[in-house]
Amino acid sequence: MEQQLTLVLLATPKGANFDEQTLDYASSSSSSSAPSSTSSFTRTFLKFSVYFSLVALAYYFIISSFTVPPPIFIALDSPPVSPSGNVSSPKCDLFSGDWIPDPAGPLYTNHSCPHIQDFQNCMLNGRPDVNYLFWRWKPRDCDLPRFSSSQFLDRVRNKWWAFIGDSIARNHVQSLICILSQVEEVVEIYHDKEFRSKIWRFPSHNFTLSVIWSPFLVKSETLGTSSDIHLYLDQLDHKWTHQYSNFDYVVISGGKWFLKATIFHESNTVTGSHYCHGRYNLTELGYDYSYRKTLKLVRNFVRDSTHKPLVLFRTTTPDHFETAEWNAGGYCNRTMPFKEAEAKLKTVDAVMRDVELDVFQNFGEGSTNFRLLDTTGMSFLRPDGHPGPYRHPHPFAGGKVKSSVQNDCLHWCLPGPIDSWNDVMVETILNR
């Protein structure tokens, strides 16, 4: 507005000055003859009439050129402003993009965060390369604001945020804690006997953070001396459902545990199994059957509950084992992200994501408390971000043969690519 007004003011005086100079020149020329009182009055009247007409005309052009700004208001469909001040378009797909170089690096280090589980502390365990630390996720059609710990904690003051799932959920929580602990140190106030479920608190913000160990999300148990896992596909795991009413924000995830050998129960009847190799004469129904049944049960619970926290379902996490699986010598030794179309999702990961999208993609229609955190694609492009052999300290010390060292190509180094999950999570939940 100021620039436009300045341009108008700079342009207008030229015309005004030109007209005034012309008028002065005309009056001085006519005054050279001997005027009578009548002609003098007439000339003076005409002079002032022309002068005021020109002034009025100049004023009109100034006013008509000056644009009055519309009233300031926030429309219901206006793009939200992120905590960093950047505008994030709701039409932008946060999960379609590329990993781009980030010279700034991570928000924390393994030295500044004491909450990293040993298995994910890749630098401490001797990983020699550091290039995997200097990338950030960039959606194609918008900017993704960098995580701000202080602004996040201000937004979640007096709130309770829970992560429900398996060890990847725990990996995600540790990433979030490491980022937030750069602003305020967290206090652990609870853990279960196996240290799998935990509760932390950020005292000055009265912010509570939980991770609940529930790898199947439904009731599961191992019966007798057999190692077979029994899944009750019509009963959600009470470890998380009985706490659900406490939570303001919830991130739910599932996945890889459904690939294990499992026996299915529904309505007090064994209905089938997965990966039991014909034992017990049970019908092989597949992991996608139990996964779909489970996610539908979760969806219905969230939809029908009278308590309405803001819920995210995080899609499956792809692994990057090459040449073989984790227990057969599979490894991951890449040091750069994939380019798009350079590789392809494994069948099991593609099937799981298809199930997730089928169950949840339309759930948000008409719902104000559910979002899909579709991190599968962005995670798949980061085969360089896993501990690999550095899940244990100095794995090749003493001349160990590389092929004999077990790799972790599923979980993520901390710091590492999983930190970007928090960027898209905050943008999805708090800014949209």
Query: For the stretch 160-196, what's the b/e string if a residue is b when 16 or more beta carbons lie within 10 angstroms of its beta carbon?
Result: bbbbbbbbbbbbbbbbbbbbbbebeebeeeeeeeeeb
Beta bridge partners of 219: 232
Assign 195 to helix, strand or coil.
coil
Cβ contact 62:12 at 8 Å: yes
3 falls within a domain: no
CA distances from 368 to 90, 164, 296 (A): 15, 20, 18
Mean pLDDT of the chain: 84
- What is the number of structural domains in the chain? 1
For residue 318, what are the CA distances in angstroms to 21, 100, 122, 294?
Answer: 80, 20, 19, 19
* Burial status of residue 212 (CB atoms within 10 A of its CB: 0-12, 13-18, 19 or more): buried
According to the model, what pLDDT value does residue 49 have? 53
Q: Is the pLDDT of residue 104 over 70?
A: yes
Q: Is residue 66 part of a domain?
A: no
pLDDT at 279: 84
Q: Which domain holds residue 278?
A: 101-393+404-429
| Contact in structure between 217 and 164 (CB atoms under 8 Å) | yes
Instruction: Single out the residue of 382, 376, 373 nearest to residue 99, CA to CA.
Output: 382
- Regarding predicted confidence, which is higher, 71 or 165? 165
Q: Got the DSSP string for 93-113?
A: -TTSEEEEE-TT--S--TTT-
Note whether residue 40 is domain-resident: no
- Which runs of E-coded beta strand occur in 73-183? 97-101, 135-139, 160-165
Q: How confident is the model at residue 37 (pLDDT cuts 50, 70, 90)?
A: very low
Which two tokens mark 56? Answer: 């009025």
53 pLDDT exceeds 70?
no
Average pLDDT over residues 317-333: 94
Q: Give the pair of three-digit tokens for residue 213.
A: 């160990």
Just list the catalytic residues. 167, 408, 411
What pLDDT shows up at residue 36? 46
Is 77 among the domain residues?
Answer: no
The pLDDT of residue 364: 66
Judge whether residue 34 has pLDDT over 50.
Answer: no
Nearest partner of 392 among 142, 208, 127, judged by Cα: 127
Q: Is the pLDDT of residue 74 over 50?
A: no
The one-letter amino acid at 267: S
Q: What is the mean pLDDT of residues 180-198?
A: 97
φ, ψ for residue 429, nearest 5 deg? -85, -50
Residues 208 and 201: beta-carbon distance below 8 Å: yes
3-state secondary structure (DSSP) of residue 207: strand
Query: pLDDT tens-digit profile of 395-420?
Result: 999 888 888 899 999 999 999 999 99
Q: What's residue 430's pLDDT?
A: 87
Q: Which residues contact 261 (CB under 8 A, 6 or more apart)?
A: 227, 228, 229, 273, 274, 275, 276
Q: What is the CATH number of the domain that holds 125?
A: 3.40.50.1110
For residue range 229-285, list pLDDT tens digits in order. Answer: 999 999 999 999 999 999 999 999 999 999 999 999 999 999 999 999 888 899 999
Whether pTM exceeds 0.75: yes
Q: What is the pLDDT of residue 59?
A: 38
pLDDT of residue 278: 82
Q: Mind listing the pLDDT tens digit for each residue in 109-121?
A: 999 999 999 999 9
Residue 86 is assigned to a structural domain of this protein: no
84 found inside a domain: no
- Per-residue pLDDT band at 426 (split at 50, 70, 90): very high
pLDDT of residue 82 exceeding 70, the answer is: no
Amino acid occupying residue 378:
M
Tokens of 267: 């309505």
Give the per-residue pLDDT at 399.
83
> CA–CA separation, 98 vs 105, rounded Å?
16
At residue 21, the pLDDT reads 36
pLDDT of 14 higher than 80: no
Please tell me the least confidently modeled range out of 103-112, 357-366, 406-415: 357-366
Residue 283, domain member (yes or no): yes
In a domain? residue 46: no
Residue 286 has pLDDT above 70, yes or no: yes
Work out the pLDDT band at 304, boundaries 50, 70, 90: very high
